[in-house]
C-alpha cells in the first residue's frame, strides 16, 4: 500500500533528516565538534554527548543502514556492540572511523543479499523454507544468526514481491539499489554518524545539510519548481501516489498514481540516474531545477509496461498550503469555512509586502464576516505547524487578550500573550483537527478549547509539544542544526507533548490510524507545570454534551457516507498496523483489493475533500459542519463578549522559533 504516510512533493515540499552530503572529512570533523557544543548549550537537556547518547546513537547508526534487520548478521552486530559506549567520545574527537566501518560492512552484506536475490529470481537457487507469510517489519526482530537464516528471510521477501512485480523488474531494482549504495562516498557514513548522534537527543533534533536547509526554507514559501507529483519510497521502490492538478505530469497525462519511477534524467539529455535506494533528499534534488528546463522520467506502469516521459519543470504553486475560505448555506444560516494547512511566512517580493499565514487568515476572516456568516469551521487537519509567531497572532483573531501559549527554554518559563491586531471573528467556532495536526496545529486549538472559545472536533492530535530553533553552523556554509530548545504547554499547565489535544467530540478522520509522536524514536516525555492565571473568553464548551449526543445520533442513523468512511478508516488502520503479508496468491489478491480501496480514498480526498461545496465527499468535514450548525442554533445568535484590550503587539518576538 502506498498512501499511508504523508508523501513528499517533487519539487514542492520535502524536509528530510538525512542526505548524502559533499563535505570533506575535515569539515565533517569540525562540524561534529561544533554540533556537540551547540547541543550542550542550546538543547533542552543541556547535556553534552555521553554514554547514554552513545547507546542511542549506536542503535540509530545501525538502523540508518538496516532498520528492518535483514542485511547485517548477528555476529556483525555483536562485533559492533563493543563500541556501543564509545560513540560520544568519537564524536567529540571528530573520529568517524567506526561509522565508516559499519557502512563498509553493510555494503559487503548488501552485495551478498543482492547476489542471493538475483540468483534466486533467475532460478539458480531454490527458495529457503516454505513460509506462508512474509514479515516485512522486522525492526523489533533479532538480526539473522547466519547466512541460512538471512537467506530464509530474503526468500520470503522475494516470494512476496514476485506476487506483484515481474522477476526482471525486481532484479533490476536490486541491482540499482546496490549500485546507488556503492557510489556513495565516505561522506554518507559521516552524515549517518552526525545524524545518529543528534537524533539520539530527541525525535526532532536534526542536522540540516546546506541542501536540506534550503528545502526547509523553501517549504515555508508555498512554491517551488518541479514536476508536480507526490510519491512514496518503500524497500527501494519509488511509487507515485498523486499528481498535483495543473502540474507538468498531470497535464502530460502519461503518468498515473501507482506507476513506479525507475530512473530520472535531470537534464533530459538521456543520462539517467536509477532511483532505487536513493534517499528522500537525493530524489528531490533530481526533480528540482530551473523553471522551463527539461526532465525525463523512466516509468514502469502498473501493467509492467515501461515508458520514458519528458516534461518541462514548472513553478508549482502549492495553493493547498495557503489559507482559504468559503461560505456554506445551511438550514441554520450561512456558515464560514476556513482552511489552514500550515503556518507559513515568506520573504517580501519586489514592491510587495511579505506573505504570512496570519495575514492571509485575517483577510479570509474579514471576507467571512462581510458575508455575514453565523459561525466558522476552522479546519486544521494535517496542519503540522510552522511559525510560532503566526500561530499566536491567529489565536488573537479569535480571543481578545490574555495568555496564548506557554513554553520553557533559555529564558526559563514564559507565557506568550495574545498578539495585538484585533478580533476578526466573534461568532461560534468549531475547530476540526486530525491525527496529523501537530505543533502549532495543536497549540491553537488547545488555547481556543481551554478558553471556551471553540468546540474542538476530530481525532486526538499528534502530540508534538516541543520547540525548535534553526542554528546556523559556521563549519559549513548553509548547514544548520534544528535543535529542540524547550517544551510548549497549554495555559492550563499540561504539555501537548505525546498527549496532544483531545477533541471535545471524537470524529475519526482518515489518518486516525497514525501513532503520532509516540511512534517516533526517542520522543520527549510528557510533563506539566503550574497553570497560568487566565479568564475564559466564552462558553462554547457548555454546549458540548448536547452537541456530542446529536452527532452520535446522526452518525448512527444509517448515513451511507459515514458508514463507508468508518469502514475505510478501519481498513487504513489495519494496513498501517500490518507487519506481515500472506504469500498465498488468493489471500494477497483479497488484501490488495482492500488496500487499493484505501489508496483510492486517499486520492479521492486529495482531489475532492476539504471543500464544503462538495461536503459529501469528505465525511469528517460534513459532520463537522453539522456540529457547527447545531452550535449556532444552541448559541442563538450571541456574539463573543467584549474583553480587555489585547496585549501590546509583540510581532516578531518569536520569529526565530519554529514548532516543526
407-434 confidence digits (pLDDT tens): 887 668 888 898 767 899 999 999 999 9
H and E: helices and strands count for the chain: 18, 23
Report, as an integer, the average pLDDT of 209-226.
Answer: 66
What DSSP line would sit under 368-385, residue for residue?
HHHTT-S-EEEE-TT---
As a CATH number, domain 323-345+354-466+485-658 is 3.90.226.10
Q: Which percentage of the chain shows pLDDT scores above 90?
A: 55
| Cα–Cα dist 262/173, whole Å | 8
pLDDT at 183: 86
305's CB contacts (< 8 A; 6+ apart) are none
pLDDT at 542: 97
Report, as an integer, the average pLDDT of 623-649.
Answer: 81
| Cα–Cα dist 433/284, whole Å | 29
Residue 644 has pLDDT above 50, yes or no: no
Average pLDDT of the chain, as a whole number? 85
CATH 2.30.42.10, the chain: domain bounds: 222-317
pLDDT in tens, 134-154: 999 999 999 999 999 999 999
- Residue 487 backbone phi and psi in degrees, to 5: -115, 155
- Residue 80 backbone phi and psi in degrees, to 5: -65, -35
pLDDT at 643: 61
| Cα–Cα dist 341/171, whole Å | 41
Report, as an integer, the average pLDDT of 568-575.
Answer: 86
pLDDT at 377: 98
Task: For residue 635, give the 3-state DSSP assignment.
Answer: helix
CATH 3.90.226.10, the chain: domain bounds: 323-345+354-466+485-658
Report, as an integer, the average pLDDT of 561-574.
Answer: 87
What DSSP line would sit under 48-89, residue for residue?
-S-HHHHHHHHHHHHHHHHTTS-SS-HHHHHHHHTTTTTHHH
C-alpha cell at 266: 535531470
Residue 48 has pLDDT above 80, yes or no: yes
pLDDT at 655: 45
Residue 344 has pLDDT above 90, yes or no: no
Ramachandran area for residue 158 (φ above 0: left; ψ -120 to 50: alpha; else beta): alpha
| Cα–Cα dist 216/214, whole Å | 5
Closest CA to 64 of 80, 75, 79: 80
Per-residue CA distances from 619 to 323, 454, 622, 626 (Å): 21, 21, 5, 11
| Cα–Cα dist 110/144, whole Å | 14
Is there a contact between 268 and 294 (Cβ–Cβ < 8 Å)? yes
pLDDT band at 1 (very low <50, low <70, confident <90, very high): very low
CA 473 to chain centre: 25
Which CATH superfamily hosts domain 222-317?
A: PDZ domain (2.30.42.10)
pLDDT at 191: 85
pLDDT in tens, 372-393: 999 999 999 989 888 888 999 9
pLDDT in tens, 435-471: 999 999 999 999 999 999 999 999 999 999 998 888 9
pLDDT in tens, 99-136: 999 999 999 999 999 999 999 998 866 667 778 899 99
C-alpha cell at 386: 510552522
pLDDT band at 478 (very low <50, low <70, confident <90, very high): confident
pLDDT in tens, 149-198: 999 999 999 999 988 888 888 998 899 989 989 988 777 888 899 999 99
| Cα–Cα dist 435/443, whole Å | 14
Closest CA to 541 of 453, 482, 610: 453
Choose between 305 and 349: higher pLDDT.
305
CA 603 to chain centre: 17
366's CB contacts (< 8 A; 6+ apart) are 424
Amino acid at each position: 500500500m502506498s498512501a499511508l504516510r504523508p508523501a513528499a512533493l517533487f519539487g514542492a515540499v520535502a524536509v528530510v533528516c538525512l542526505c548524502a552530503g559533499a563535505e570533506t572529512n575535515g569539515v565533517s570533523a569540525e562540524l561534529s565538534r561544533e554540533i556537540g557544543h551547540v547541543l550542550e548549550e542550546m538543547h533542552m537537556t543541556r547535556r553534552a554527548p555521553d554514554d547514554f547518547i552513545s547507546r542511542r546513537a549506536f542503535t540509530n547508526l545501525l538502523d540508518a543502514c538496516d532498520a528492518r534487520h535483514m542485511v547485517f548478521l548477528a555476529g556483525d552486530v555483536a562485533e559492533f556492540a563493543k563500541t556501543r559506549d564509545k560513540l560520544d567520545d568519537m564524536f567529540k574527537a571528530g573520529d568517524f572511523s567506526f561509522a565508516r566501518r559499519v557502512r563498509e560492512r553493510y555494503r559487503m552484506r548488501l552485495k551478498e543479499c543482492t547476489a542471493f536475490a538475483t540468483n534466486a529470481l533467475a532460478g539458480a537457487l531454490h527458495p529457503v523454507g516454505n513460509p506462508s507469510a512474509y514479515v516485512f517489519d522486522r525492526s523489533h526482530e533479532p538480526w539473522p544468526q547466519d547466512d541460512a537464516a538471512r537467506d530464509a528471510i530474503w526468500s520470503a521477501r522475494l516470494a512476496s514481491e514476485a506476487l506483484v512485480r515481474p522477476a526482471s523488474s525486481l532484479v533490476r531494482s536490486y541491482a540499482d539499489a546496490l549500485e546507488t549504495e556503492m557510489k556513495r562516498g565516505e561522506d554518507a557514513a559521516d552524515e549517518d554518524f552526525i545524524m545518529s548522534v543528534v537524533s539520539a537527543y530527541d525525535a526532532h533534533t536534526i542536522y540540516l545539510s546546506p541542501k536540506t536547509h534550503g528545502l526547509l526554507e523553501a517549504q515555508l514559501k508555498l512554491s517551488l519548481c518541479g514536476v508536480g507529483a507526490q510519491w512514496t519510497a518503500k524497500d527501494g521502490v519509488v511509487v507515485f501516489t498523486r499528481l498535483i492538478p495543473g502540474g507538468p505530469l498531470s497535464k502530460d497525462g502519461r503518468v498515473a498514481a501507482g506507476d513506479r519511477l525507475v530512473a530520472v534524467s535531470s537534464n533530459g539529455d538521456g543520462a539517467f540516474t536509477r532511483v532505487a535506494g536513493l534517499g528522500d533528499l537525493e530524489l528531490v534534488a533530481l526533480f528540482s531545477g530551473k523553471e522551463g528546463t527539461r526532465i525525463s522520467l523512466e516509468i514502469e506502469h502498473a501493467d509492467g509496461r515501461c515508458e520514458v516521459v519528458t516534461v518541462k519543470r514548472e513553478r508549482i504553486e502549492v495553493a493547498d498550503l495557503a489559507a482559504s475560505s468559503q461560505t456554506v448555506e445551511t438550514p441554520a444560516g450561512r456558515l464560514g469555512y476556513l482552511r489552514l494547512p500550515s503556518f507559513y511566512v515568506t520573504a517580501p517580493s519586489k514592491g510587495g509586502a511579505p506573505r504570512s499565514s496570519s495575514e492571509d487568515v485575517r483577510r479570509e476572516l474579514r471576507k467571512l464576516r462581510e458575508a455575514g456568516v453565523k459561525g466558522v469551521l476552522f479546519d486544521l487537519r494535517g496542519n503540522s505547524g510552522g511559525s510560532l509567531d503566526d500561530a499566536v497572532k491567529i489565536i488573537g483573531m479569535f480571543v481578545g487578550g490574555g495568555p496564548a501559549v506557554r513554553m520553557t527554554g533559555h529564558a526559563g518559563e514564559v507565557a506568550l500573550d495574545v498578539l495585538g491586531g484585533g478580533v476578526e471573528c466573534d461568532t461560534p467556532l468549531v475547530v476540526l483537527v486530525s491525527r496529523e495536526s501537530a505543533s502549532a496545529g495543536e497549540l491553537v486549538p488547545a488555547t481556543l478549547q481551554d478558553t471556551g472559545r471553540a468546540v474542538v472536533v476530530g481525532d486526538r492530535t499528534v502530540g508534538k509539544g516541543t520547540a525548535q530553533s534553526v542554528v546556523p553552523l559556521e563549519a559549513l556554509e548553509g548547514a544548520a542544526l534544528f535543535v529542540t530548545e524547550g517544551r510548549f504547554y497549554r495555559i492550563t499547565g499540561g504539555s501537548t507533548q505525546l498527549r496532544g489535544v483531545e477533541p471535545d467530540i471524537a470524529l475519526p478522520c482518515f489518518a486516525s490510524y497514525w501513532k503520532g509522536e509516540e511512534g517516533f524514536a526517542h520522543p520527549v516525555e510528557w510533563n506539566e507545570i503550574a497553570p497560568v492565571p487566565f479568564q475564559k473568553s466564552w462558553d462554547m464548551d457548555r454546549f458540548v454534551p448536547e452537541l456530542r449526543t446529536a452527532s452520535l445520533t446522526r452518525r448512527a442513523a444509517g448515513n451511507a457516507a459515514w458508514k463507508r468512511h468508518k469502514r475505510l478508516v478501519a481498513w487504513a488502520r489495519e494496513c498501517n498496523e500490518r507487519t506481515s503479508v500472506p504469500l498465498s496468491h488468493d489471500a494477497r489478491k483479497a488484501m490488495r483489493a482492500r488496500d487499493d480501496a484505501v489508496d483510492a480514498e486517499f486520492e479521492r480526498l486529495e482531489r475532492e475533500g476539504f471543500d464544503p461545496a462538495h461536503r459529501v465527499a469528505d465525511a469528517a468535514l460534513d459532520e463537522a459542519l453539522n456540529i457547527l450548525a447545531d452550535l449556532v442554533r444552541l448559541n442563538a445568535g450571541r456574539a463573543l463578549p467584549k474583553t480587555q484590550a489585547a496585549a501590546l503587539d509583540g510581532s516578531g518576538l518569536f520569529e526565530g522559533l519554529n514548532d516543526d
